[in-house]
Structure 1
Amino acid sequence: MEFLYIYIKQYKGINNIGINLSNEFKFRFDEDKNELIISSAEHYIPDFFGKNITNLTAIIGENGAGKTTVLRYIVEYLSAGIHNHNDENGIVFLRERGQLFYFSINDIIISSQENIKSPKRIFDPEDIRSSLVTIFLSNVFDPTSYYTHDYLQGQLAGTKNLSTQYLLYTDYQNRTGEDAMRRDLTYDQRFSAFAAEEMIRMVRLLRWIGQKEEKGVPFPVNLPSHLNISLVFNENEEYQDILKEIRYASEGYFNIRRSERNMFLINAFIASIAYILNETKFIVGPEIVAHKYRSVPERVLEYLNTHKYRDTKNENSIVPEIHDIFYSVLRDDEFQILNKTISSIQGFLEGLDKFVHGRNIYTSKDNNSISVELTKVNKGNLETLIDEYYDTKGISSYVDFFFSHSPGTNSSLSSGEYALLLVFSRLNSIKVDSRKPLIILIDEAELALHPQWQKQFISHFVDFIETRFKNHKVQIILTAHSPFILSDLPSNCIVLLKKENGKTITFDSLQSTKETFGANIHELFTDAFFLQDGLMGEFSRKKISDLINEINQQEQITIEDFDSKYKNRIEIIGEQFLKAKILELVAEKSDIQLIDKIIDRRNNEIEILRQIRNRKKDD
């Protein structure tokens, strides 16, 4: 099943526009004649994006033109039909196994070229939805309330919703089995579950990539080589003295097994106590509860100062002894107030110990962070470790996990690298049992990506889709702002939206070029569709305009005026032609002394050009 065309009669501020989603056909609906005209698209190339990718369409447009609205129209149509968005006069065209179909409540006239098969009419839109799997992905976080934001309501039905907004809520439910709609859930609970699942999705992506690379299928993106685990300490001044005492007592107590690994585990133990102290400010209830939390450091310090370290058979681990220290705290907790928190901490420290045991690790100088190479075995164990730590019913506030290219440092991946890998990891997490066709809808595909990554996005993405979903026919529809995306797509794969007189309209092509595929990025940028005032930044444009106006208002400019008011403002201008023109303006208002100075400057520039020319001649 492949979507070919939608005609939106009326939906959320968009009226009477047709959206071509096919690179093989052109559709145009004449509302006055109630006629839909179908013709063959120019320069159609079968399997252009890959054997299993039926088409890739980019909806490009300026802010507010309606790109996301069009995408949402498709999402809602595929998940709950037209009755959800009340566009009863809309038209949808699609293709399945070579046959064209269309859905329209109203009778319409169909006109097509002789070589195009006559389409069949569908009377129940459920036939469309049941024949494919819809995947919606967005990294955008919309601050609109969950309880009113329609992206997250039931109309998405069977759609695989991978939006940040949606996952922030459903990840909690997936991890705990509890209702994610509960209003009493804290931000920490929701965020911890989301962070856990996001990290686990990335780890699973890395594992999947590893399996493919073993078979000679390299992944196109530079992947992180290490996982860094960094401890987070409570910075409240009120607690610093007691934490320092515990650190000193712990190092003395565990001195018999001093090692980089154990020093990190000792610091993780101290960070967990700092976490317990931090929890006191969130406690609502009887004073005895807060008192029990605040008394933990004193109870731990008392144990360390009054007990002697007991050698055990497990000589490579200090975690069993840490369990005993915490047990002494729990022993005095007759109401078991601390039981859940401390049990979670003990479980995580045990998992952390197992994870770092026997591995080559890089430890920071202060022993507060470690780096572990992301080998095949480590990736599998890492998923378990993260899963245990980010237990929303327990703890998730004193250790940071982050991927890095540099072991032994606090260097993380860039936001662009994370954004790119998250697109892949979320799609990789999709479980599609059948071989139904897939339609993947991505909002703001290039969000947070450096221009170099934008330039590479389509290439990397189609490689990934072709491999990951090789048993499915896949159609991709994405929204973007970037000319870099445009340059990778033929013009018949692009929908251009623009706002004119408050109304969204579609364009057939850009002003500067008809064919976009392989077009020069600079030419695409200079098209008025993207930048209406050229390539210069607005701040610099205003400053230069003010400078020109100021010069024009002067009757005479002396050399003193030039040096004090204008010289530096002209020198910082990067566009040489513009700089020369402004100097000419100055010269028109200048005395001979200043003109001579400008001539000397020009002569110096000419001499530099002569030297370059002579050198090229010699070469």
Structure 2
Amino acid sequence: MRICYIWTESFKNLRHFGINIRNDLRFSYDPETQLLSREKQAGLPPEILGDQILDATAILGINGAGKTNVLELICLALKGNEKLQQPTLIVYEFHDVFFYANNTHQKIQAGFPIQKRTDLKDLKDLNVIYFSNVFDQSQLNLGKYILDISTNFRHSNRNPKFGNDPDFDIINQLKFIQSEKFRAIKIAPPKHIEIKIERYTRPSNTDKISKHSDLFRRILEQQQTLRQQAHADDGQLATVAIQGQFLHQILSIHKSNDALVKSVEKTLCSSESDEINFRPALMEVKNNFTENNIQNIWGQEFNIPQLIDIILDLDHHFNLMNIRLDDSLKSSRYTFTLDFYDHLNLPYLEISMIIWMIRSGSINWTGISSGQRAYLNMFSSIWSTLGGARTTKSKSIGTLLCIDEADLYLHPKWQVEFMERLITCLPKLSEQKTQIVLTTHSPILVSDLPSQCLTTLPAQIPTDASNPLVNDIKTFGANLFDIYESTFGLKGQRTGNISSKYISKILRILDADQIPPEEMATLLEASSIIDDQLIKSHIIKRIKSK
């Protein structure tokens, strides 16, 4: 399956708009003549996209041109066609035959062999994925058939799997790091994890008036006692804080389980040792859950008895992870840092699940750049989606991956390698043939894509087919400034506004026949801050000629 072209009469700011997704052929549609045309383009050398990536299309344009709207159109046209009220045309290739599906109510004329389809059943097993690292709480309504792994959707209440909880990100990322696929794509793992946890349990109002209020108070008192023990090391502080929070959370949820509550209460209140120890109480929870076959919580696939085994030995695990308490800021929460050793078989994943279950705690990477976080987020999300139950992997006919703001959070060095890493890594995450459509503001990124892979949206979208989109742009290996000027609306400006205005002022002084003393002082000042060597040499020459 290969999507070739999508056209719509109207979608948001797009009018009589067509997007070409295939790189070796360029399609166009004229609604006035109902003529669908196809033009052959130069093929790409195999080292550009490789064998598994069929096409890569970048959509460029200034802010507000409609780049995200184009991705939304693609997703809805392919998987939510019933949502589109305006006439739409889709062209695709399937088993070496070209087909089109349309609701334009017009008879399509084509200058090449193509067959008509009255529905989109051919596309049923195509995986369409939408990814974006943008987190601004605005969500695209792409429908249930789009694999939406955008940050906005993952952290929204509309997502039952993640439930608006960023801690789930690190759970999926740790699963990814532990997989064979992660080692194959050769991304450097983060080095540190940060855990934040309340020092003490905070019984809710419901807990305080419940018949088990004394039990919740007992857990709090034991945590407070530990806080007063000077010999407690960082690992012990973290262990008792997490054990107490976990025990409190379990009892709050299962307080109707009288057998569980009574056994835990008996264990806590009968302890004769001065040492703070939640181990016997946690063992009671494990035994009760095992006997009653309670395996998970809040519908998540966590094996609670196995997690309790990790909690019972937390102090040992934390010591191996070189746990450290950050007490530089006064807070009601502990902040701990763990070293992350991806080559050792340590229970980082299980600990992240435990912290997620506590709810009053948080866990995340620390000491990594926003670019590294963006990379890890993108590839782990794609991996979990293509390898998860939501995909039609057993009978999939391919994947179309839409990436919005592909360069977001990436340092220029990371932008240099983005396309190469994406094209190299995707085949290792999935064996499916893949097409990529992305939006970007980065001239560095698009310098890796030949012109037949690009579509530039003008500031004003043409309203008729006789005024086509700007496609004749040169980017592959091109000068970065030339790319900026031709695709991102800089209109010849080579520097930021402040320096541009200042240099214009200096050039006006240099153009004068006579320079008064006060302006000569301005030139002298300019010679020390302007770093354009040509302009600087003219300034120095004019100063010396005085």
TM normalised by structure 1 equals 0.66
Cα 1:33–1:263 shift into 2, 3 Å: closer
Deviation of 1:160 after TM superposition, in Å, equals 0.9
Is contact 1:7-1:91 (8 Å) kept? Answer: yes
Deviation of 1:537 after TM superposition, in Å, equals 0.6
Distance 1:371 1:72 in 2: 40
Deviation of 1:74 after TM superposition, in Å, equals 0.9
How large is the Cα RMSD of the aligned pairs? Answer: 4.1
Match of 2:478 among 497, 519, 522: 519
For 1:250, the equivalent position in structure 2 comes to 226
Is contact 1:254-1:309 (8 Å) kept? Answer: no
Distance 1:56 1:49 in 2: 8
| 2:249 is aligned with 1:265 | no
Q: Letter of the aligned partner of 1:97 in structure 2?
A: H
Q: Letter of the aligned partner of 2:116 in structure 1?
A: R
Q: Letter of the aligned partner of 1:174 in structure 2?
A: K
Deviation of 1:356 after TM superposition, in Å, equals 4.6
Distance 2:519 2:402 in 1: 59
Cα 1:549–1:522 shift into 2, 3 Å: closer
Is contact 1:528-1:534 (8 Å) kept? Answer: no
For 2:497, the equivalent position in structure 1 comes to 538
Q: Deviations over 1:111-159 (max 9, x none)?
A: 13xxxxx1111111x3243141211112223444xxxx6x23xx51321
Match of 1:397 among 360, 385, 397: 360
- Counting only pairs closer than 5 Å after superposition, residues 587-606 of structure 1 correspond to structure 2 as 587=542, 595-596=543-544
Is contact 1:265-1:349 (8 Å) kept? Answer: no
Is contact 1:497-1:505 (8 Å) kept? Answer: no
Cα 1:484–1:220 shift into 2, 3 Å: farther
Match of 2:417 among 444, 450, 456: 456
Distance 1:569 1:246 in 2: 68
Match of 1:506 among 469, 491, 507: 469
TM normalised by structure 2 equals 0.75
Structure number with the higher helix fraction is 1
Instruction: Name the SS for the 1:121 alignment partner.
Output: strand
Q: Letter of the aligned partner of 2:413 in structure 1?
A: Q
- Counting only pairs closer than 5 Å after superposition, residues 24-173 of structure 1 correspond to structure 2 as 24-45=24-45, 48-81=48-81, 83-88=82-87, 90-104=88-102, 105-112=105-112, 118-124=113-119, 126-144=120-138, 151-152=140-141, 156-169=143-156, 173=160
For 1:439, the equivalent position in structure 2 comes to 400
- Counting only pairs closer than 5 Å after superposition, residues 237-386 of structure 1 correspond to structure 2 as 250=226, 253=229, 255=231, 258-265=232-239, 309-310=273-274, 318-320=277-279, 351-352=310-311, 354-358=313-317, 360-364=320-324, 368-375=335-342, 378=345, 381-386=347-352
Deviation of 1:484 after TM superposition, in Å, equals 1.8
| 2:19 is aligned with 1:3 | no
Q: Letter of the aligned partner of 1:196 in structure 2?
A: D
Q: Letter of the aligned partner of 1:262 in structure 2?
A: Q
Deviation of 1:530 after TM superposition, in Å, equals 4.8
For 2:14, the equivalent position in structure 1 comes to 14
Distance 2:109 2:5 in 1: 15
- Quick check: which has more Rg, 1 or 2? 1
Match of 1:468 among 412, 429, 444: 429
Deviation of 1:372 after TM superposition, in Å, equals 3.6
| 2:369 is aligned with 1:414 | yes
| Structure 2 segments unaligned to the other structure (5+ residues) | 201-220, 250-267, 284-297, 299-305, 328-334
For 2:195, the equivalent position in structure 1 comes to 229
For this pair of structures, how many residues does the alignment match? 473
Distance 1:415 1:260 in 2: 28
Q: Deviations over 1:383-425 (max 9, x none)?
A: 232223223xxx4334x4233xxxxxxx521111111111111
Q: Letter of the aligned partner of 1:371 in structure 2?
A: L
Distance 2:225 2:243 in 1: 12
Distance 2:243 2:117 in 1: 64
Cα 1:23–1:47 shift into 2, 3 Å: farther
Q: Deviations over 1:543-592 (max 9, x none)?
A: 3334555777997522x6644x45324421111212334456xx4xxxxx
Distance 2:236 2:316 in 1: 10
Cα 1:211–1:53 shift into 2, 3 Å: closer
Is contact 2:16-2:462 (8 Å) kept? Answer: no
For 1:477, the equivalent position in structure 2 comes to 437
Q: Deviations over 1:214-245 (max 9, x none)?
A: xxx3x2322214434355669xxxxxxxxxx9
Report which stretch shifted further, 547-556 or 365-374: 547-556
| Structure 1 segments unaligned to the other structure (5+ residues) | 113-117, 176-189, 235-244, 277-302, 312-316, 325-339, 341-346, 404-410, 588-594, 600-619
Distance 1:120 1:492 in 2: 25
Identity of aligned residues (%): 22
Report which stretch shifted further, 450-459 or 103-112: 103-112
Cα 1:92–1:267 shift into 2, 3 Å: closer
Instruction: Name the SS for the 1:3 alignment partner.
Output: strand
Q: Letter of the aligned partner of 2:94 in structure 1?
A: E
Is contact 2:167-2:363 (8 Å) kept? Answer: no
Q: Letter of the aligned partner of 2:127 in structure 1?
A: V
For 1:491, the equivalent position in structure 2 comes to 451
Distance 1:536 1:486 in 2: 20
Distance 1:540 1:322 in 2: 67
For 1:299, the equivalent position in structure 2 comes to none
Instruction: Name the SS for the 2:155 alignment partner.
Output: helix
Distance 2:26 2:227 in 1: 74
Is contact 1:54-1:475 (8 Å) kept? Answer: yes
Is contact 1:495-1:506 (8 Å) kept? Answer: yes
